[in-house]
Structure 1
């Protein structure tokens, strides 16, 4: 009886050992050996292991599985349109935008830190070139137009109405000069030169009245005429005639007189000088955005996140096609070392693999027990 029990126990132990070792070896053969083994030029069977041998097929299958079953356009579209996801994205974007807009960095420092090609000289050159470009574009359109057509009726009328005030100002300045000592001296000099050119009669008048006496008599008469309404009407009428002639001329006439390059360069320099670029660059981002920050964070960002979510959800298939996600997965898997794959799989399934080994030992033991019973019955 004891002999029978020993035989059965021995056969169970052998069966359990065979089952456990076989399963453990089968699990190891999934990965090992990592590379093919050769005797001479003959490759040993079952080398390399299953996964190293089929790594290319595994990469293809994983790539297809990720695109077809995991990261599908429908799944990503649902995620982008999900209200909770959009709310999370909205809060995250708001916090990031708020962080940037409340920065104490100057605009110049921010540009340098983030490698943005923005500097005072660059902006001024851009403004200068842009002004010249816009000038040339506008002149191509308006060069043949008359000045009055460009200015418009309202501006032309206002300009003409101001001529009366201009003539009054001019006459007033002339009267002030003539009434002054310098004006009297100039008038005396003119009379003296005139009488010298009149021969004997001029010398006689000059000696009889004297140049200063003539100037004293003429000066009040000239002053009265200059300050009269007649003089003002005459000068205003003259200015209006000239004004009408000049406003009838086309823009090309004035451009030709000044020079296109001179005019465009002057205009570009004036614009560049008028824009406080240095002040902008030296101000902090916080100062720049102080007035518009609440609007950007509270209104623009939610609208932008909502728009981008809808925009991306509609174009996910095209984006995924452009990204070639399956190829990315394949390349990543193919770049894994077999040791890394083994470590990943065992890290996830080590317990299950141990249970398979134990199950193999259990089944082997049961088979050994059955074999022992059969042997006892036959014997």
Structure 2
């Protein structure tokens, strides 16, 4: 009877020692969280293993993630896969469709992005942009003739406009000469001329008697100005001047007018010609409505493979620039040990219990063996 009690007692003692030892070892992975000191002496095995090796653990986890989990080759294979490409295409199509169906005006969208852009500012920006690019646009153009720069259709219109302008000038001159003001103006010019001729002028005036010279000349002037010959002469003269102007180098015309003047005029003309206010008040959906289906159904599926190919080719460089190992290390270092313990125990609680039970079992078996040896030797 004493032998059974001895063996049973040693078995229980061994089981208790084994179970408590394993349980304590598991707890010491995390506990205590901070070192315990008595004066200047730090108690051994404090803090726990994981808190003590936290920095090293962070570095190892960062290296493991980059070298074995999130590797450039693994991500590249994922990106180059057809499934990822299809998912990306669908995602982009859905997001772009939401964006293109936006009923807000361009002005409202810019305001929501803290970009203040009104009509006046936009016109000034476009005008300045055109002026700044005037010189680069004129390189290689200044030495060419103006006629070489114009399409044949424009030159035909210029010639036709020159003839019409000649007829207009002729009609305006005829109307002026036929008016009282015009007639008197010509009369004054004739009188001034005769007065300046001295004796010859007085002699001509005496021949006319009481009748003014303008009364005889005026009908002749009107007849000449209204004649077809005058029309032909005026048209040929304007056409000749137009031909001279078109056959001059563009540089000559530019020098006469002035580069600054031309650039400013072109910039203001372009900015005022464009319907800025109407554009700013149109909604984004109105702008893209004619091409929305083409963008979603044609452009995005065509662009997505190029994007995935670009991402795959730049994957290693992107990962290096993001410094993923440093990110993981930083996150692990800042992660509370209490939370880490909770997560690990929550996942492996059953396994840790089995380790404790296994320690108790092994301790009990060792106790039985020791009890048997003690009986045999005693």
Q: Does 1:102 align with 2:82?
A: no
Deviations 1:48-68 (A, max 9, x none): 221122222212221121111
| Displacement of 1:232 | 2.5
1:107-146 matched pairs, under 5 angstroms = 107-116=106-115, 118-146=117-145
Give 1:111-190 correspondences, 5 Å limit. 111-116=110-115, 118-151=117-150, 155-156=154-155, 159-160=158-159, 162-179=161-178, 183=182
* Equivalent-residue separation in structure 2 for 1:146 and 1:172 (angstroms): 33
Match runs of 1:279-298 below 5 Å? 279-298=278-297
Instruction: Please state how far the C-alpha of 1:27 moved relative to its aligned partner.
Output: 0.5
RMSD: 2.8
Give the one of 202, 205, 220 matched to 1:202: 205
* Helix, strand or coil at the partner of 1:344: helix
Matches of 2:204 and 2:319, distance apart in 1? 108
Report the alpha carbon displacement of residue 28 of structure 1 after superposing the two structures with TM.
0.9
CA distance in 2, matches of 1:91, 1:306: 12
Return the TM-score normalized by structure 2. Answer: 0.87
What number of residue pairs does the alignment pair up? 374
Q: Do residues 68 (structure 1) and 71 (structure 2) align? A: no
Higher mean C-alpha displacement, 313-322 vs 258-267:
258-267
Q: Quick one: structure 1 residues 206 and 24, their matched pair in 2 at CA, closer, same or farther if it must change by over 3 Å?
A: farther
Further displaced range: 361-370 or 152-161: 152-161
* Contact 1:15–1:366 (8 Å) recurs in 2: yes
Q: For residues 331-355 of structure 1, what are the alpha-carbon distances to aligned partners after superposition, in whole Å with 9 as ceiling and x for unaligned?
A: 2222223223222322222221122
Counterpart secondary structure, 1:142: coil
Where does the alignment leave 5 or more consecutive residues of structure 1 unmatched?
A: none
Shift of 1:120: 3.8
Provide Cα deviations, 1:136-183, integer angstroms capped at 9, x if missing partner. 323454344443343366644653455334333332343344455665
Q: Tell me the CA shift for residue 226 of structure 1.
A: 3.2
Mark the CA change 1:223 to 1:119 in structure 2 (over 3 Å): closer, same or farther: closer
Q: In 1, distance between residues paired with 2:156 and 2:105?
A: 48
Match for residue 333 of structure 1? 332
8 Å CA contact retained: 1:196, 1:202? no
Kindly state the Cα deviation for residue 329 of structure 1 after the two structures are TM-superposed.
Answer: 1.4
- Partners in 2 of 1:132 and 1:261 — Cα distance? 8
Distance 1:121 1:182, change over 3 A: closer
How far apart are the structure 2 equivalents of 1:244 and 1:287?
A: 47
Give, in angstroms, the shift of residue 264 of structure 1.
Answer: 2.1
Of 3-12 and 172-181, the range deviating more from structure 2: 172-181
Q: In the alignment, which residue of structure 1 is the partner of 2:50?
A: 51
In 2, Cα distance between equivalents of 1:360 and 1:274: 90
Alignment of 1:73-84 (within 5 A): 73-84=72-83
Q: 1:259 to 1:221 in 2, by over 3 A?
A: same
The normalised TM-score by structure 1 is 0.87
C-alpha distance after superposition, 1:255-285 (max 9, x if no partner):
3433333332222222221222222222211
CA separation of 1:310/1:334 partners in 2, compared to 1, >3 Å: closer, same or farther? same
Distance of aligned partners of 1:306 and 1:355 in 2 relative to their CA distance in 1, 3 Å threshold:
same
Larger CA deviation: 221-230 vs 333-342: 221-230
In 2: Cα distance, 1:164 partner to 1:269 partner: 30
